[in-house]
Structure 1
Amino acid sequence: MKRKGGELMAYGLERSIKRAYDPSGVKRTSNLMSPIVALEGHGSDVFGCAFHPEGKYLASAGFDRQVLLWNVYGECENISSFTGHSGAVMDIKFSTDGNTIFTCATDMTVALWDVMAGQRIKKLKGHTW
């Protein structure tokens, strides 16, 4: 995760950058783009990450079949994990209201997760390569 002005950025293996804006963010005093924090918790490669619409959480997903929810501010700790896919989780998105996380995995399913309850609320089967 990187911070530039009031903007938070995160990236995984694909180097695709996700952004969340916080106007009260810490101002950078350098042009160096070094990470200010490394979030560690996945047992393997991370394939995707997404910011909550309000920018207060970051969700990550990867080869270890887990979805991890991180607090973006303060201690930047892992506050929840969702399990239920039997294959690597390839992508992740938040709903526009931030109450649901959508994931897709190599087990050919799409899952909907309740963010506050930390549980899968729907499993859609039948996707193919």
Structure 2
Amino acid sequence: MSNPDTCCGIVPYFKVAPGKLAEFKALTLRFVEKTRSETGCAYYAFSFDGDSAAHCREGYDDAAAVLAHLENVGALLGEALAISEITRLEVHGPATEFDKLREPLAAFKPQFFALQAGGLRR
């Protein structure tokens, strides 16, 4: 019997204020550096579409690692939200992890996508 897959992917989409893309990109470098030391983070990077849309591709071992990340980058997130807004937040993972994230993420009105059994994780 294999171990259960507890991996949680967080998928935020940002709309960056006009004229603030360079400042936002500078913040993303600080996010990455701050996240680098998190033991429960499997992957973390930002991508961009044009001069106002940004996405953070991030995955964690479980909901506890997501919460540790949010605590670690809380001040930076506040800076980012001063020059952008989260237009969409998706959470992907096993439904068993969602209850740990619903309240802490409630302000962002996330959409939760539960993993279907039988998938593949290496």
**TM-score class, shorter:** 0.3 to 0.5
Please state which structure has a larger fraction of its residues in strand: 1
What TM-score comes out, normalization by structure 2 length? 0.33
Greater relative contact order, per chain length (Cα 8 Å cut-off, separation 6+): 2
What TM-score comes out, normalization by structure 1 length? 0.32
